[in-house]
A = this chain, B = another copy of it.
């Protein structure tokens, strides 16, 4: 089964290979007669010809490949994002290379080198820290980059969630349940969403007529369940808050463990709100009240932004902020009298 080349198609259609190539690539300069186009298309279809991307890439200097970097593939938040990215990319003939830094910013450089080696045309970066050398360099070089969820000091088109809205709803929801001391388990500093969420929490409290206290915030070193468990333990042991806004759902997952370890029941003793509405959030016990973000849409929009820049490098593609919405489940309840 020797590979089928464009020569085979050309021969079958009785034309020159270059003509066949043009006939199969619709919008090229120097159009082809309808009849020829038709014959070539038919021949290609009958033979089952698929253009070799390697030969094409070598000639066009475009790989049809995009690098996607996520911070933690084991965090259920990201698979849906990848799904959105891939769905859009495949629809446009692009393919994604995927890598995870596994929450180690130091690995980004090496992984981006792999992508570069593969001649990726552009990048979707969901793993950026605010001052991220590797990503900053990429942006400085003028390589098409779209940031997802996390921004860098270097500016690039981005898709984020409008956390302020959902977090505001979350705090109001808790306040309406009678909570006046609402803690926050922030993610690692150095990541843009961490700041944004903490600021939104602060603003939300003020809007509800409450005064955020310094001691109500504990910083989890990572957006992981175990970091969340530790941070939550610290916060609980201070004994001040009756409700907690976790920096994301994984931190919230860790909270359940911290509650159990202290014999606290949720929501009777403590109310808990997460952020992300990751796929398993509704299956936790109690099911998790959380600020929902459309993860797949996040990825899809990022892919579209990137495709726009790829199609026209001069295009000024903007930023997108997706709305967030509180989803009330069973992890929040009235404050203990």
Contact = CB atoms under 8 A, between A and B. Distances in A.
A116 to B, nearest CB: 7
Interface residues of A, number: 45
A76 interface: yes
A99 interface: yes
Interface in A86-118: 86, 90, 95-100, 102, 113-114, 116-118
Q: So how many copies of this chain end up in the complex?
A: 2
Interface of A: 1, 3, 50, 52-55, 57-58, 61, 63, 73-74, 76, 79-80, 82-83, 86, 90, 95-100, 102, 113-114, 116-119, 141, 225, 253-254, 256-257, 260, 279-280, 283-285
B114 A99 contact: no
Given A50-B117, A76-B280, A95-B114, 18 more contacts: A50-B113, A50-B116, A53-B117, A54-B58, A54-B63, A55-B58, A74-B76, A74-B79, A74-B83, A83-B100, A95-B118, A96-B97, A98-B98, A253-B283, A256-B283, A256-B285, A280-B280, A285-B285
A50 B58 CA distance: 15
B283 A225 contact: yes
A308 B82 CA distance: 29
Contact of A260 (B102, B257, B285): B285
A236 to B, nearest CB: 16
A257 B52 CA distance: 49
A211 B127 CA distance: 52
